[in-house]
Structure 1
Amino acid sequence: MRRTSARFRLGSAVAVVTAAATVGGLTAWNGAAAEPEAAETLQVGTPEGYGAAATGGAGGDVVQVASEEELVAALETEGALQIEVTSNIALGDSVDVTSNKSIVGSGTSGGISGATLNVSEADNVVIQNLTFTGSNDDAINVEYSTNVWIDHNDVSGAADGGIDIKRASDNITVSWNHMHDQDKNMLLGHDDGNGSEDSGKLHVSYHHNWFDGTGQRNPRVRFGNPVHVYNNFYDGVGSYGVASTIDAGVLVEGNYFLDTEDPFHLGEGDSPGGALVARDNVFDNSGEGQQGGSVSDPSYSYNLDPADQIPSIVSSGAGVGNI
C-alpha cells in the first residue's frame, strides 16, 4: 500500500494531477497501472444506522499529517481524501472539515486537542480512531452537514460539548466512542427556536458508546424524530442520560444503565418534553426513567446486542485502538 506524505505547506487545496506529479511538496498518484488496483481504505468497517451512507474519503489518496498546518491543507483539498493523523495535533482555532473526507487516527497515536474539529456544510465525512482532549469549545461540532460517521474515538475534557450535532444536519451515526471526564456530552439540536431548520432533520443513531461518568446530554435531543439510542453503556452518569425535548422522538433500546439515577426523561431546562419510548434496557442500581408518547421505529435494519452483555461488549470495544 502507498501512503503519500503530507508534510508540506500549501496556501490552497492539494491538486492530484498525474501519476508522478508533485504539487506543493505532495507526491500523489492518479491511478496509474503501476499502483495496486485496490486503493487503500483507512477507515475500518462500515457504519450502521442513519449514517450508513457515509464513506468519507474512501477511494481517494491517503495522506499523513502531524501538525495543524498539514491538517488544514489536507482538509482544504477538493474531492475525496483519506487523512491519517499520526500524532496529537494541537489546534489554535477551530478547523473546518470539508466533504468527502476521512480523518482517521494512526494506531493509538492520532489526536486532536485545544479546539474544535468543525464539520460544517459538508457531506460524507468519517471521523474515526482519534483522541480528542481539552477543546476550548466542542470537541466535534456538526452543522449543516449530512452523511457523517463518528466512530471509535476517545473524547474528554471539552469545555462545552463532546460531540454536538445541530442546524439541519441529518443522517449521522455516532458509534463506539468512549466519552469521559466532561459534563455536557452530546447535544442534538441547539435551540428551541430552530424548528424551521431542524424539523424533519437530525436523524441520528447513537450506538455502542461508553458514557463513562459523563454528566448530562447523553444525548439531549431537540426536533430529531426518530432518534435511535441503542446498545450504549451508561456507566455512572452523573446528572442524566437521555433527554427528549421539543418535538423530538427518541427510541432508547437495549442499553445498560449502571449507577445512573436518571437514565432518561422528558423535557430539560426550559425545553418542553418530546416523546420517548424505552424498551429492553437493563437498570443496574439505577432509576427507571421517564417515558411517554410514541416514536416510530428506525427506517433501517440493525443488530441489537443483548442489553445484559453491553458492559463487557462496549467497555472492551469502544474508543481508540479497538477497531
Structure 2
Amino acid sequence: MKKIAGMTLAFLFWASAIAPLSASQTDLGREVLGKNDGWAAYSTGTTGGSKASADQVFTVTNRQELVKALGGDNKTNGANDTPKIIYVRGTINLSVDDQNRPLGYNEYRDPAYTIEEYLKAYDPKTWGKKDVAGPLEEARARSQKNQAERVLINVGSNTTLVGLGNEAKIVGGGLLLTKVDNVIVRNIEFQDAYDYFPQWDPTDGAEGNWNSEYDNLSIVGSTHVWVDHCTFNDGERPDAFNETYYGREYQHHDGLLDAKGGADLITISYNHFSEHSKTNLIGSSDSATTDEGRLRITFHHNFYENIGERAPRVRFGQVHLYNNYYKSDGNEHYVYTWGIGKSSKIYAENNYFEMDPGFDPAKLIWLAKGTALYETGSYLNGAGKHHEVSIVDAYNANPANTTKVSKDVGWKPSLFDKIDPTQSVPAIVKAKAGAGKL
C-alpha cells in the first residue's frame, strides 16, 4: 500500500475513524432525549445506552455482529440490560445465515408446506368461512416460526442503536423490543420486513384476508422508547408487487412501527414513513383492557408519504400528534389517516394534510369503536391552496356518520417543546425527517 509522509493510507483511515470529535461535532450515541420531548421524557426520561463503558460501544456491519453486540445470543439478548451503544454502518440484511448468505422461502419452508398445496386446501369455495386448521396450516406456522427466529432481532434495555452517516440500513426483518426499558433508535433506514408465509383468515372481513407477521420495529410491553430520524418503507418489494390469491392481496408486510401489549412512554419524532399500507398500530386488541392507562405516545414532525392507513390507528392510548405532515395526493391505495379505536384519546395539534383536490377532510378519520378526538390547527392543502379545517366538524357534519365524534378526550399534553405553526410544517418536516438528516 502506498505511503504518504511515512504513513500508510490504511493508518490515515484508522486514525481519522478514531479521532476525537471536534467541538462542532456530536456523538449521536451519547445523546439523550430532551427533558420535555414527548411521553418518552416522562418520569426517568430516555437515555438509552448513553452511559455505556468503552467496552460496550460497537460498530456493526452485518447480522452476526449486531447480535453479538446486543449480547451474543438472539434468544436471550432481550434480557441484556447492560448499557450499550451500537453504531450501524452500511446495510445489514437480517435474512441471512451466519456467513451472511441470503435466506428465503426455500430455506425457511417446512418440508410439509408449499403455497400451492395451501391454496388448494383452504380455497374458500370448499373450505368456507371457518378458521384454517390442519396439517398444512401447522406446516405454514412452523415455516413462519423458522423465519421469525432469524429475522426478528431482540433488543435489550439501556440500548442506543444509531446509524452512521446517511447510508445505514436494516433490511429483511425487524427489531423486537419486548418488555424492556430505555431504548433509543436513530438515523437508520428500515426496509422490507417481508413475511414469506402469510396466513389466510376467512373470518377477517366479508371476503377474508391474508395477514402477515413482521414489523420493521415492534414495541411490545416496553417503556421509555425514542425512535427518531429513521426511515421506514418496503424497499425493493413494495406492496404493489404482491400476488392476489382468492381475490385478496397476498400481503407480505405488516406494520412499519407498532406498539402494543402495554407499551408505554414512547416518542416517535422526525421519521419518514412511505409507500406502505398498515403503518402504525397502537394497541392490538379491543379486549386488551390492561392497555388502559398505557400506550402513552407522542408523534411529532413525522412525514407520512403515500401510506394507506394507520397513521396511527389507536386503541386506549393517550396519543399526542403534532406537527406531522401527511402527503397522499394521487395515492390510489389511501384508506384513512387516523383510526379512532376503542377508548382511544388522541390529541392532535397543527398537523398538515396534502391530499387530492376536493378531498373531503371527514375521510381523514375512521371510527373503529372509538368516539373521541381533540383536534386543532389542522391544515388541508388541495390544488396548491391550503386552508385551516376542522376534521371533527367535517366528520360530524356528514349525515351518513350517525356516530358523532366528541372533542373531549379527558387530557391535555404537557410534554412537548415548541409546536410550530401549521403552515411551516411541510418545509420543516421535508427538510429534517428521515434517516441521514442528523
Tell me if TM exceeds 0.5. yes
Residue 44 (structure 1) shift: 4.9
TM alignment of 1:79-90, pairs within 5 A: 79-90=82-93
Decide which of 22, 32, 55 is 2:47's aligned counterpart. Answer: 55
Residue 301 (structure 1) shift: 4.0
Gap change, CA 1:115 and 1:166, over 3 Å in 2: same
Residues 236-257 of structure 1, C-alpha deviation per residue, up to 9 Å, x if partnerless? 1722111121001101110001
Decide which of 295, 314, 331 is 1:202's aligned counterpart. Answer: 295
Residue 129 (structure 1) shift: 0.3
Contact 2:220 2:260 in 1 (8 A): yes
Give the secondary structure class of the aligned counterpart of 1:99.
coil
Give the secondary structure class of the aligned counterpart of 1:214.
coil
Asked whether 1:278 is paired with 2:375, we answer yes
Residue 40 (structure 1) shift: 5.2
C-alpha separation between the residues in 2 aligned to 1:201 and 1:194? 11
C-alpha separation between the residues in 1 aligned to 2:30 and 2:309? 29
C-alpha separation between the residues in 1 aligned to 2:299 and 2:366? 18
Decide which of 125, 139, 150 is 2:216's aligned counterpart. Answer: 139
Contact 1:66 1:88 in 2 (8 A): yes
C-alpha separation between the residues in 2 aligned to 1:44 and 1:210? 23
Residue 264 (structure 1) shift: 3.6
Residue 43 (structure 1) shift: 5.5
Task: Give the match for residue 30 of structure 1.
Answer: none
Task: Give the match for residue 408 of structure 2.
Answer: 294
Contact 1:41 1:58 in 2 (8 A): no
Gap change, CA 1:164 and 1:81, over 3 Å in 2: same
Task: Give the match for residue 24 of structure 1.
Answer: none
Residue 274 (structure 1) shift: 3.5
Residue 217 (structure 1) shift: 0.2
TM-score calculated relative to the size of structure 2: 0.61
Residue 123 (structure 1) shift: 0.3
Contact 1:118 1:141 in 2 (8 A): yes
Task: Give the match for residue 318 of structure 1.
Answer: 433
C-alpha separation between the residues in 1 aligned to 2:427 and 2:32? 20
Larger radius of gyration: 2
Gap change, CA 1:49 and 1:78, over 3 Å in 2: closer
Give the secondary structure class of the aligned counterpart of 1:155.
strand
Amino acid at match of 1:276: L
Task: Give the match for residue 46 of structure 1.
Answer: 33
Contact 1:106 1:129 in 2 (8 A): yes
Give the secondary structure class of the aligned counterpart of 2:428.
helix
Contact 1:212 1:234 in 2 (8 A): yes
Decide which of 257, 274, 280 is 1:180's aligned counterpart. Answer: 274
C-alpha separation between the residues in 1 aligned to 2:273 and 2:168? 17
C-alpha separation between the residues in 2 aligned to 1:211 and 1:154? 10
Residues 66-107 of structure 1, C-alpha deviation per residue, up to 9 Å, x if partnerless? 111111111125410110000211112100110000000111
Amino acid at match of 2:49: G
C-alpha separation between the residues in 1 aligned to 2:420 and 2:32? 17
TM-score calculated relative to the size of structure 1: 0.82
Asked whether 1:122 is paired with 2:162, we answer no
Residue 300 (structure 1) shift: 2.0
Contact 1:266 1:275 in 2 (8 A): no
Give the secondary structure class of the aligned counterpart of 2:40.
coil
C-alpha separation between the residues in 2 aligned to 1:132 and 1:98? 19
C-alpha separation between the residues in 1 aligned to 2:31 and 2:435? 12
Give the secondary structure class of the aligned counterpart of 1:165.
strand
Gap change, CA 1:88 and 1:67, over 3 Å in 2: same
Residues 99-147 of structure 1, C-alpha deviation per residue, up to 9 Å, x if partnerless? 0000001111211111111111110000000011111221100001000
Decide which of 350, 359, 380 is 1:254's aligned counterpart. Answer: 350
Amino acid at match of 1:289: I
C-alpha separation between the residues in 1 aligned to 2:66 and 2:91? 11
Give the secondary structure class of the aligned counterpart of 1:51.
helix
Amino acid at match of 1:99: S
Q: After the TM superposition, which of the residue ranges 68-77 and 201-210 deviates more from structure 2?
A: 68-77
Give the secondary structure class of the aligned counterpart of 1:42.
helix
Residues 190-234 of structure 1, C-alpha deviation per residue, up to 9 Å, x if partnerless? 111111x2111000000000001111000000010x210100000
Residue 303 (structure 1) shift: 1.2
Asked whether 1:230 is paired with 2:322, we answer yes
Give the secondary structure class of the aligned counterpart of 2:427.
helix
Structure 2 alignment gaps of length 5 or more: 1-19, 72-79, 96-150, 195-213, 235-251, 393-404
Task: Give the match for residue 137 of structure 2.
Answer: none
Q: After the TM superposition, which of the residue ranges 45-54 and 157-166 deviates more from structure 2?
A: 45-54
Q: CA RMSD in A?
A: 2.2
Contact 1:41 1:59 in 2 (8 A): no
Residue 258 (structure 1) shift: 0.7
Greater share of helix residues, 1 or 2?
A: 2
Contact 2:32 2:46 in 1 (8 A): no
C-alpha separation between the residues in 1 aligned to 2:294 and 2:336? 24
Give the secondary structure class of the aligned counterpart of 2:215.
coil
Structure 1 alignment gaps of length 5 or more: 1-34
Give the secondary structure class of the aligned counterpart of 2:29.
coil
Q: Give % identity.
A: 32
Aligned residues: 283
